[in-house]
């Protein structure tokens, strides 16, 4: 039901669950292709709309990337 003052829904919507699913699948390390199939998102653009990215997720991704590069440098020596 929509609140007439804020024009927002008061209750949980199916799209809220789909958004949470996209975020949780990515955070769990599920490959994007598999996550898209699970959520029935046909395009990368549609998946991206549901997979909200915040600053913490970006920071964690950059830290993982840095750790990966550092490990590769150690292995090369």
| pLDDT tens for the 77 residues of the chain, in order | 566 777 676 676 666 788 888 989 988 989 999 999 999 999 999 988 888 778 888 898 899 999 999 999 999 88
Say how many CA atoms lie within 13 Å of 37 toward its Cβ: 4
Identify the pLDDT of residue 70: 94
Q: What are the domain boundaries of the chain?
A: 14-76
Taking the C-alpha atoms of residue 15 and residue 22, their distance in angstroms, rounded to an integer, is 10
Question: pTM of the full predicted structure?
Answer: 0.57
- The torsion defined by the Cα of 8, 11, 12 and 14, in degrees rounded to 10, comes to -70
């Amino acid at each position: 039901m929509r609140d007439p003052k804020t024009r927002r829904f008061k209750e949980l919507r199916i799209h809220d669950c789909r958004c949470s699913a996209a975020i949780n699948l990515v955070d769990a390390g599920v490959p994007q292709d598999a996550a898209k199939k699970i959520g029935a998102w046909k395009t990368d653009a549609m998946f991206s709309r549901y997979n909200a990215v915040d600053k913490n997720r970006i920071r964690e991704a950059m830290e993982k990337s840095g750790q990966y590069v550092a490990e590769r440098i150690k292995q090369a020596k």
